[in-house]
């Protein structure tokens, strides 16, 4: 008898065909509507596995899910999972590492370049027909090449960014992380520093940490005040890692040069958010992994994880404790 898997969001046909080979399944196919909690709880009561992305997984959701063995997210981040709850109920949480690393690193460099050379801001300027003067100091940005990049959170994506920064832009690199990465330090001539030193010395401060109790509001008014007035802050992690109110003030006061943000405290970004009034911020709608090829690869990896878990095996990408 095939196991039953509940899929809480639309998926590609290829992914569905793969799941169909191994499991009975049902899909919540509404593009713009989250699966209602009551429907989800009902489905999970008799599910062996679930694919849920961007759904908060709490005790309430899984309390009656007595045969559930795995919940698989189509993302590398898994802050929507309550890890203690999953382990209490003996459910594997899985994510999709590796397959998105290069794609996210590309996007990070894109928004870093936009915020430093003011590409987004000046694109709007030209489109609005405001370009009436020869290029002059009004268009100046900050150089990227040969500057210092400070990476907070040196995981797999951090390493991909190091390669781009070092080999492509000949940058100096410092990093801060929970644990040191001697192999990266050696291979790329990268130095470990304390967060305070990184903030004081880096021309680009890039946040790539997972969202945990320790990283909520990691960057607030105090940290922003340590940064250079020419510095650019880039967030490719999760919105709550930055105190957004403090960042708005720092950008308004020009305490830092600019910011590039792909993630926000509230997503989608509310239409009255103060970021929308600022010129010195590049905003993208959480698109780190958003290419067709990468999204397909992530979905397939998430599908493999849910199938393995539902069949009673240990899935490949169990989230770290």
C-beta of 39 vs 216, nearer to ligand DGY? 216
Closest CA to 184 of 203, 198, 166: 166
Shortest Cβ distance from residue 239 to ligand DGY (Å)? 10
C-beta of 220 vs 239, nearer to ligand DGY? 239
Q: Give the separation between CA 92 and CA 83, rounded to whole angstroms.
A: 9
Query: Going by C-beta distance under 8 Å and a sequence separation of 6 or more, which residues neighbour residue 101?
Result: 156, 157, 159, 160
13 alpha carbon, distance to own chain's centre: 25
Shortest Cβ distance from residue 152 to ligand DGY (Å)? 16
Q: Give the separation between CA 308 and CA 264, rounded to whole angstroms.
A: 33
By beta carbon distance, the residue nearest ligand DGY is 288
C-beta of 141 vs 239, nearer to ligand DGY? 239
Shortest Cβ distance from residue 216 to ligand DGY (Å)? 16
C-beta of 142 vs 177, nearer to ligand DGY? 177
Shortest Cβ distance from residue 84 to ligand DGY (Å)? 20
Residues serving a catalytic function are 238, 267, 286
3-state SS of 192-215 is: ECCHHHHHHHCCEEEECCCCCCCC
C-beta of 157 vs 247, nearer to ligand DGY? 157
Q: Give the separation between CA 211 and CA 162, rounded to whole angstroms.
A: 21
In this structure, what token pair is assigned to residue 219?
């960057």
**For residues 284 and 261, is the Cβ–Cβ distance under 8 A?**
yes
Contacts of range 60-63, beta carbons closer than 8 Å, 24 or more positions apart? 61/37, 62/86, 62/89, 62/91, 63/89
Shortest Cβ distance from residue 311 to ligand DGY (Å)? 25
- In the complex, the residues that contact ligand DGY under the rule CB under 6 A are 75-77, 100, 104, 286, 288-289
Helix crossing, 156-163 with 101-117: angle to 10°?
50
C-beta of 43 vs 317, nearer to ligand DGY? 317
Shortest Cβ distance from residue 285 to ligand DGY (Å)? 10
In this structure, what token pair is assigned to residue 179?
């644990």
Query: Going by C-beta distance under 8 Å and a sequence separation of 6 or more, which residues neighbour residue 80?
Result: 53, 54, 55, 56, 57, 73
């Amino acid at each position: 008898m095939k196991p039953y898997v509940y899929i809480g969001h639309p998926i590609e046909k290829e992914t569905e065909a793969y799941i169909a080979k191994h499991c009975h399944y049902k899909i919540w196919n509404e593009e713009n509507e989250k699966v209602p909690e009551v429907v989800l709880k009902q489905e999970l009561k008799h599910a062996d596995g679930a694919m849920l992305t961007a759904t908060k997984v709490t005790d309430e959701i899984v309390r009656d899910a007595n045969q559930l063995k795995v919940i698989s997210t189509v993302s590398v981040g898994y802050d929507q999972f309550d890890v203690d709850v999953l382990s209490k109920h003996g459910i594997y949480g899985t994510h999709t590492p590796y397959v998105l690393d290069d794609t996210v690193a590309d996007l990070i460099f894109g928004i870093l370049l936009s915020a430093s050379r003011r590409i987004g801001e000046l694109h709007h300027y030209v489109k609005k027909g405001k370009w009436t003067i020869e290029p002059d100091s009004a268009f100046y940005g900050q150089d990227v090449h040969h500057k210092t990049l400070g990476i907070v959170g040196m995981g797999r994506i951090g390493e991909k960014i190091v390669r781009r920064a070092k080999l492509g832009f000949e940058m100096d690199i410092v990093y801060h992380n929970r644990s040191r990465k001697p192999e990266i330090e050696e291979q790329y001539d990268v130095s470990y520093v304390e967060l305070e030193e990184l903030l004081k010395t880096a021309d680009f401060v890039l946040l790539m940490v997972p969202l945990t109790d320790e990283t909520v509001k990691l960057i607030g008014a105090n940290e922003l005040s340590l940064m250079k007035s020419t510095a650019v802050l880039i967030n490719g992690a999760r919105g709550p890692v930055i105190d957004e109110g403090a960042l708005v003030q720092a950008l308004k006061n020009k305490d830092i040069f600019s910011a590039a943000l792909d993630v926000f405290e509230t997503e989608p970004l509310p239409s009255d958010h103060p970021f929308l009034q600022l010129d010195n911020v590049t905003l993208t709608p959480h698109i780190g992994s958003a290419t067709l090829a990468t999204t397909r690869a992530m979905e397939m990896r998430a599908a493999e994880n849910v199938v393995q878990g539902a069949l009673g095996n240990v899935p490949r990408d169990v989230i770290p404790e």
